[in-house]
Structure 1
Amino acid sequence: MGLTGGIGSGKSAVSECLVRHGAYLVDADRIAREVVEPGSSGLAAVAEAFGPDVITPDGSLDREALGRVVFADEESRRRLESITHPLIRAEMARRIAAAPADAVVIHDVPLLVESSRRPGYDLIVVVETPRELRLERLARRGLPADQAEARMAAQATDEQRREVADILVDNSGTLDDLQARVAEVWQELLRRR
């Protein structure tokens, strides 16, 4: 299944709950960080495309500096995606192939709607959280409001996500509320397996 939601929606909390229930997780965000680790071909390509200002003195990716560039300019974002997305897709495919045959495989993909990957999933779960709550969460994580707004603007709208959703998970309540809803989703996944 594909799992998606906008930045700050709580997708990671949902995927953690699903893993506790027994899901096999393939996390696109984690893989996206791995494909640009120091010494990787992905990091070398990003540095070549965006210059030395996106590399820290220790040789790692300066995510904040890169974010300021790519979330302010559509062409830059597409250039970054043309470098990283093929690497991410290849690693995701490798990990999916390594999953046990009877596993419920969860693909945590933030840009699932934007990448038009719908045909590859049996179903799509969308985590939905009101915009203001998402902005509050991002502020608590230290993301300045202007950067949070820019990242949200670069993603699909809530309406676009709802259009592809087979299952919606409302994450506007408490953690207990979320865990109860994820338990329901897990039972639905097992029924569909």
Structure 2
Amino acid sequence: MIHTHTHTRRLALAAALLALPVLASAQEASPPLGGPLVPGVCMLSRDAVFTNAKVGQSANTQLQKLAQDGQASIEAERSRLAPEMERLGLRADIDPAKLSDAQKAGLQKLQALQQKAATLGQSIEAARGRAIADISRQAQPLIAQAYTRHACGLLLERGTVLGGNLGNDLTAEVVTALDAKVTTVQVSLGAPGK
């Protein structure tokens, strides 16, 4: 009896999984949720502002370049170390107690390179955070102006809205205003002001 019940549940689960693409396509074909415009309720997608504004695109391009340059530097060092590591016979499964002095020195070089790569990743993430903060500071007064202009009483993150009338979406307006105000921001791996 238990075996039959389990088998029946498995068949039901398999049938449900097979129906998912049909349900998904049926949902895609259904009309979007609409409804009346709710006065005072506005939306904004901060991600879309950062992605679509020229200043966000500039920051993203600079961050990609920093990451590519850093990765190229790490790879060049790794390539220079590879013959030495091979000559020393260093492997991940080697017993540290059996390492020669030369192997220990080689392992330290490898660990230093790994630390350099980790530090580079942290530096790029910090630069990204500083760029987002800078763009946010520049966008905030523009968001406030759009908020006031539309007589908003509540501003929601657009990504959390499941449906409804998106007539009070401030995103495009803020992107346009931000593009008129600034098109680039300086992105560097150093601390602010460096």
Higher normalized helix content (fraction of residues): 2
Higher normalized strand content (fraction of residues): 1
Which of the pair has more CA radius of gyration? Answer: 2
Q: Quick check: TM above 0.5?
A: no
TM-score (norm 2): 0.27
TM-score (norm 1): 0.27
The higher-RCO structure (CA 8 Å, 6+ apart) is 2
